[in-house]
């Protein structure tokens, strides 16, 4: 059995055992710059909200669990990027817009602004979006669920 077919079978079996059928819209194995292989999977399921959860936290757990199952069954340690019903794509677009709007607001008001973002994925998107902006300084502070990003104008 081909590698992608085996992984597809593992994913479908995982979702069936969890009580939901999954249609795999996309599955790619990509080489990273560091030589590791990354597995990009986008699925569609009727029970997407159950597997995504509040702020995507269940999706992160699902991704981690599925990664471990794939590693055990294939003997390959992929970095897994699992998306369900394009949730991550839409969230990434939203976070990029939020980052730009908050930075512009901080510059306009000449005061720092805070974004409460407990998920590391969310903070990473905001940092990447604003890293080229020379008129603001970005910093992550706090612990756990109180983790946030401070966006401060450079005056």
Give me the phi and psi of 27, to 5 degrees please. Answer: -145, 115
Contact 70, 77 (CB under 8 A): no
pLDDT digits (tens, 9 = 90+) for 8-44: 999 999 999 998 999 999 999 888 778 888 999 999 9
Q: Which CATH architecture has domain 89-153?
A: 2-Layer Sandwich (3.30)
pLDDT digits (tens, 9 = 90+) for 51-98: 999 878 899 899 999 999 999 999 999 999 999 999 999 999 999 999
pLDDT digits (tens, 9 = 90+) for 113-154: 999 987 888 899 999 999 988 999 999 999 888 899 999 999
Measure the CA–CA gap between 9 and 12, rounded to whole angstroms: 5
pTM of the model: 0.76
Q: What share of the chain is helix, strand, coil (3-state, %, to 5)?
A: 50, 25, 25
Closest to 12 in 3D by CA, of 49, 58, 66: 66
3-85: CATH topology: GMP Synthetase; Chain A, domain 3 (3.30.300)
Closest to 79 in 3D by CA, of 138, 124, 36, 131: 36
Domain borders along the chain are 3-85, 89-153
Same fold yes or no, 3-85 and 89-153: no
| Angle of helix 87-109 versus helix 120-130 axis, rounded to 10 | 50
């Amino acid at each position: 059995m081909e590698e992608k077919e085996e992984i597809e079978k593992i994913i479908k079996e995982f979702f069936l055992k969890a009580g939901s059928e999954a249609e795999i819209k996309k599955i790619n194995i990509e080489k990273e710059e560091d030589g590791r292989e990354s597995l990009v999977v986008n699925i569609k399921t009727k029970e997407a909200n159950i597997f995504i959860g509040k702020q995507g936290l269940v999706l992160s757990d699902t991704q981690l669990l599925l990664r471990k199952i794939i590693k055990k069954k294939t003997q390959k340690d992929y970095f897994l990027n699992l998306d369900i019903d394009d949730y991550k794509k839409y969230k990434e677009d939203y976070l990029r817009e939020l980052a730009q709007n908050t930075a512009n607001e901080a510059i306009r008001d000449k005061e720092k602004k805070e974004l409460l973002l407990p998920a590391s994925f969310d903070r990473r998107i905001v940092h990447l979006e604003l890293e080229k902006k020379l008129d603001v300084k970005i910093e992550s502070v706090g612990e756990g669920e109180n983790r946030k990003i401070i966006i401060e104008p450079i005056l």
